[in-house]
Chains A and B, each alone.
Chain A
């Protein structure tokens, strides 16, 4: 079975500081990993994904994520946080040998403090 864990319900970061939102996963086989962002009363917006290749993937709005196979992690990062980055962030996974749904973590609320 596929699963995703986001251990932090909330992360607070001062504007201008680097941010990290943690994610670990469990799948059988190779994972396809995704990050989505949700602003208040909005749908989920795709940020970035890891399929294969370079472990560091870059996405929208200056975000990046690092795939670590040995630690089964896919942490979301940004070098310098903006107040506008405040939102709910979801990590998601699909097993590479499946062709259907992606499974989401419970989400981490990111607060960027001015």
Chain B
């Protein structure tokens, strides 16, 4: 069964450093998302991406965050200067366009970011 894959599974970084989290969505999916979850709590929307541009972003997704789809398979989340409060589990998700907006999101296993 196709799945969303994320790397790294866990990254530890110093405050102020740049971090890039990588995702390979399911191959025929066209909508991509990043969510984050702090300490096993609420899953918060960060950004959605379609047709090589951001569709929507939340208040959390400030100027320190950016997303890219540099090639036909990868979808990345960059945090330019990490803060302590960026420590969280980051989930990538994708959705099949054929289901229109009724389709569910398929999630990866997550990348745990620890900022020291």
A binding-site residues for B, Cβ under 8 Å: 32, 34, 36, 42-46, 49, 51, 88, 90, 94, 96, 98-107
Nearest-neighbour CB distance to chain A for B113, whole angstroms, equals: 14
Nearest-neighbour CB distance to chain B for A41, whole angstroms, equals: 8
Q: Are A51 and B40 in contact (CB under 8 A)?
A: no
Pick from B40, B41, B101, B107: contact of A94, CB below 8 A: B101
Interface residues on B, range: 20 to 34
Q: Are B43 and A90 in contact (CB under 8 A)?
A: yes
Tell me if B52 counts as interface (CB < 8 A to partner A).
no
Nearest-neighbour CB distance to chain B for A28, whole angstroms, equals: 14
Pick from B41, B91, B102: contact of A43, CB below 8 A: B91
A90 vs B42: C-alpha distance when bound (angstroms): 9
Given A100-B56, A101-B33, residue A44 in contact with residue B102 (CB < 8 A): no
Q: Which residues of B contact A90 (CB under 8 A)?
A: 43
A94 vs B15: C-alpha distance when bound (angstroms): 35
A sample of 9 inter-chain contacts (CB < 8 A) reads A32-B102, A42-B110, A43-B110, A44-B93, A90-B43, A100-B101, A102-B105, A103-B45, A104-B42
Q: Which residues of B contact A46 (CB under 8 A)?
A: 104-106
Q: Are B33 and A96 in contact (CB under 8 A)?
A: no
Q: Which residues of B contact A98 (CB under 8 A)?
A: 101
**From residue 53 to 76 of chain B, which have CB atoms closer than 8 A to chain A?**
55-56
Q: Which residues of A contact B31 (CB under 8 A)?
A: 100
Smallest CB gap from B112: residue in A: A41
Other contacts beyond A46-B104, A51-B102: 12, CB < 8 A:
A32-B101, A34-B104, A43-B107, A44-B43, A49-B102, A96-B102, A98-B101, A99-B100, A100-B50, A100-B56, A102-B45, A104-B44
